[in-house]
Amino acid sequence: MDIDLSQFYQVFFEESFEGLDTMEHELLHLEEDSDRENINTIFRAAHSIKGGSATFNFKEVAEFTHVMETLLDEMREGKRPVEKETVDLLLRSVDCLRGMLNRIQDGEEVGDSHIDLVNYFNELLSNGSSSGSDSPATEVDDSSADSEGEITRWSIHFEPEAYILETGNEPVRMFRELKGYGELTAKANLDKVPDFDELKPESCFMSWDLELDGEVDEDAIKETFEWVEDDCKLEIKPLSSAGGKAKAAKVVSANADETTEENEEEEVQTSNVKNMVPVASEKPAAKAAQKPASTASIRVGIDKVDTLIDLVGELVITQSMLSEVGENFDISKLNLLLSGLGELEQKTRELQESVMRIRMLPIGFVFNRLPRMVRDLSTQLSKKVNLEIKGESTELDKTVMEQIGDPLTHLVRNALDHGIESVDRRIEAGKSETGTLILNAFHQGGNIVIEISDDGAGINPDIIYRKAVEKGLIPDGIEMPREQILSLIMEPGFSTAEVVSDVSGRGVGMDVVKRNINNLGGNVEISSELGKGTTFTIRLPLTLAILDGQLIKVGDETFVLPLVSIIESVPLSMAETSRIAGDMPVYKLHEDYIPIIDLQEEFEIRKNLGASNDGLLAIVEGENRKIALRIDELLGQQQVVIKSLESHYKSIQGVSGATILGDGRVSLILDIVGLSKRASDRTHKKLVA
């Protein structure tokens, strides 16, 4: 077995980032509810990060989390009160750790951004009420100060679980650390080591009886075994007490010798985080640089995997039933065959749904990053805001979720900056001084709906209208419904902020929000009541991997149109068409003229001579732009699995991906927005020419 630790980096990073999210989440609740369990949760998260980073030799991270842990320990034991200052410091530390881990993940140097915080921690710890803390910077001094009467002989029985070596925990290292406290005598018990033939060499079948003769307290011994405390039987008993300064001196010198020795051997240290002098971490950085491109992973609940296995089992049964029917087929078995095929179809659909569910994650992953932002921003803006989160367990596709994070953050920032009024204004308006921001998520049909509502000032449509006219977005005097006026704030370059703050109001953002959501196949609606508040409603498809498609035929080629984009289709013979400037053919749809794109010309498809001249116009819409596609025939509708064209070939404007049809042929999925841009670019070129 060849253990290459770098293969575990990705898991470590994912777990650490999750741990940091947990810490942040709990820290935000700490001020209002300083429950011991909250602090324990934060402590455990910090502890896991410390353990992992030490195992992978990310020394700076291990050292940093160690001081955090010391502070948390004091809070846990009630020696230090939970104060805003401490919570702020810990929140800053979470940010700092996130940055450090990101840099390590990218193969960069860790840098020294954490050193100020470490110093601050040490200062806080040395000023604090806790005398029993194991503040690393003062450890050696403490031992000499307490040297009198503390020297003890300890008997330690250590019986690890068989898997301990596979988790990277090495008794040699622990014993060596114990040796740092004094004279260590180890006696290995090998009775349980199996016969050579049956020995699993990576498992540990040994246990040890150790005797430690040195100035050390029980806590320090326990700390040596802290990474394995849940994975072993550990008994620590005092044997006898002695005293004397001579021996204390010996301990210190033994410690120093050992440190030198350890440095020479360059063993991977898991818990030696006593030396707080920051060390440039060339090793991890170099290792990280060598790591292969990281592959994202998701955690899947065991129930989902079990369902999948059940379904596969049923599918195999159906398949073998069908094989049996097929072997000696005669017409009397037709009904059996048909019912078998029906079953196969049903199972396949269930399997598909189950597989898709594996990619589904609760939206809480995105929501959870918002309380921190709301807390920081409301302080910055001197506003009082109460954030309510509902429906955080609503699931959506991982890819959708990754891309919805930024737009959501932007909308929340916007609601805080422009929506919710300052305390004074709220009191003037007869509202409570604390504003409410509600985030809600739920499923509706095949969509996930996310609502961001505030009880702020609301949006004044008159101001929006005036601004839009000023900016030339709409002609003056045009009649528009209220919702349409409100949606103008999502047009590029539109900003009504009187003061451009660093929170929002830069004139970019809302249009990007809209574009990002549109790119995900979703849309945003705004409803607002002056003086009462605003609600942004985002509707997104549950998944991006499967699309409800309409198959269309152009020449001999079959294309797929997203079903949601189709408005209607009309036979060309009945359509009212004409040509406008740039020789662009247009179709009159109600009162509008929309461009016609002939897909045969667009994709240079050979004309199918057998086909009649008549065809169809499919009227489609994307990002509020309508176009008419000239096609030969509408075929069936079916769900298609989207394959990326970019990763297999290259990106093509007007094509969002490809899929494999039932007959094995590859079909391109059309991108309406891209097609309409292609058409308008071409017309523009013609006009210029």
Partner 1 sequence: MSKKTTVSLGNALDIASVSELKKRFENALTKDLPVTLSANKVEKADTAGLQLAYAFVKKVEANGHDINWQSPSDVLVQTSEILGMQEHLNLS
Q: Give the relative orientation of helices 36-55 and 59-76 as an angle to the nearest 10 degrees.
A: 160
Q: Does 140 bind partner 1 (CB under 8 A)?
A: no
Name which of 9, 25, 12 is nearest 365 in CA terms. 25
Q: What single-letter DSSP state applies at residue 643? A: B
258-287: contacts with partner 1 (CB under 8 A): 265
Q: How many angstroms separate the CA atoms of 533 and 556, rounded?
A: 54
Tell me how far, at minimum, the Cβ of 245 lies from partner 1, in Å. Answer: 27
Closer to partner 1 by CB, 196 or 445: give it.
196
Closer to partner 1 by CB, 186 or 321: give it.
186
Tell me how far, at minimum, the Cβ of 376 lies from partner 1, in Å. Answer: 45
Q: Does 347 bind partner 1 (CB under 8 A)?
A: no
Closer to partner 1 by CB, 115 or 193: give it.
193
Give the C-alpha distances (Å, rounded to integers) separating 178 from 6, 171, 205, 224, 275: 28, 10, 21, 7, 16
Q: How many angstroms separate the CA atoms of 100 and 114, rounded?
A: 8
Tell me how far, at minimum, the Cβ of 258 lies from partner 1, in Å. Answer: 11
Q: Does 202 bind partner 1 (CB under 8 A)?
A: yes
Tell me how far, at minimum, the Cβ of 38 lies from partner 1, in Å. Answer: 38
Q: Does 290 bind partner 1 (CB under 8 A)?
A: no
* 648 flagged as catalytic: no
Find out whether 155 and 199 touch, Cβ atoms under 8 Å: no
Closer to partner 1 by CB, 190 or 296: give it.
190
The count of chain residues that interact with partner 1, using the rule CB under 8 A, is 31
Residue 195 CB contacts under 8 Å (≥ 6 apart), including other chains: none
412: which 2 tokens? 């929340």
Tell me how far, at minimum, the Cβ of 157 lies from partner 1, in Å. Answer: 13
Helix (H) or strand (E) holding 601: helix 599-602
Tell me how far, at minimum, the Cβ of 175 lies from partner 1, in Å. Answer: 5
Closer to partner 1 by CB, 1 or 581: give it.
1
Tell me how far, at minimum, the Cβ of 2 lies from partner 1, in Å. Answer: 5
- Kindly write out the interface string for residues 154-183 of this chain, putting x where it contacts partner 1 by CB under 8 A and - elsewhere: -----------xx---xxx--xx--x----
* 47 flagged as catalytic: yes
Closer to partner 1 by CB, 121 or 175: give it.
175
Q: How many angstroms separate the CA atoms of 333 and 440, rounded?
A: 53
Closer to partner 1 by CB, 172 or 609: give it.
172
Closer to partner 1 by CB, 198 or 498: give it.
198
Single out the catalytic residue among 414, 418, 440, 451. Answer: 414
Q: Does 184 bind partner 1 (CB under 8 A)?
A: yes
Stretch binding partner 1 (CB under 8 A), from 74-82, 193-201, 350-358, 415-423: 193-201
Closer to partner 1 by CB, 201 or 292: give it.
201
Q: How many angstroms separate the CA atoms of 521 and 370, rounded?
A: 24
Q: Does 195 bind partner 1 (CB under 8 A)?
A: yes
Tell me how far, at minimum, the Cβ of 65 lies from partner 1, in Å. Answer: 25
CA 22 to chain centre: 13
Stretch binding partner 1 (CB under 8 A), from 186-194, 442-450, 577-585, 667-675: 186-194
Q: Does residue 616 sit in helix, strand or coil?
A: strand
Contact with partner 1 (CB under 8 A): which of 115, 206, 512, 652? Answer: 206
Closer to partner 1 by CB, 206 or 480: give it.
206
Contact with partner 1 (CB under 8 A): which of 139, 150, 159, 186? Answer: 186
Q: Does residue 216 sit in helix, strand or coil?
A: coil
Q: Does 452 bind partner 1 (CB under 8 A)?
A: no
Tell me how far, at minimum, the Cβ of 1 lies from partner 1, in Å. Answer: 4
Tell me how far, at minimum, the Cβ of 201 lies from partner 1, in Å. Answer: 4
- Kindly write out the interface string for residues 210-249 of this chain, putting x where it contacts partner 1 by CB under 8 A and - elsewhere: x---------------------------------------
Q: Does residue 445 sit in helix, strand or coil?
A: coil
Single out the catalytic residue among 47, 66, 114, 418. Answer: 47
Q: Does residue 88 sit in helix, strand or coil?
A: helix
What's phi and psi for 5, nearest 5 deg?
Answer: -60, -25
Question: What does the H/E/C string look like for 170-213?
Answer: CHHHHHHHHHCCEEEEEEEECCCCCCHHHCCCCCCCCEEEEEEE
Residue 83 CB contacts under 8 Å (≥ 6 apart), including other chains: none
Name which of 71, 113, 87, 70 is nearest 34 in CA terms. 87
Q: Does 3 bind partner 1 (CB under 8 A)?
A: yes
Question: What does the H/E/C string look like for 96-165?
Answer: HHHHHHHHHHCCCCCCCCCHHHHHHHHHHHHHCCCCCCCCHHHHHHHHHHCCCCCEEEEEEEEEECHHHH
406-435: contacts with partner 1 (CB under 8 A): none
Q: Does 204 bind partner 1 (CB under 8 A)?
A: yes
* 69 flagged as catalytic: yes
Q: Would you say the C-alpha torsion 123, 126, 129, 130 has a positive or negative sign? A: positive
Name which of 483, 512, 329 is nearest 409 in CA terms. 512
Single out the catalytic residue among 24, 60, 69, 421. Answer: 69
210: which 2 tokens? 């150790």
CA 678 to chain centre: 34
Stretch binding partner 1 (CB under 8 A), from 41-49, 94-102, 206-214, 517-525: 206-214
Stretch binding partner 1 (CB under 8 A), from 28-36, 201-209, 305-313, 403-411: 201-209
**Active centre residues (catalytic):** 47, 69, 414
Interaction site with partner 1 (CB under 8 A): 1-3, 165-166, 170-172, 175-176, 179, 184-188, 190, 193-197, 199, 201-202, 204-206, 208, 210, 265
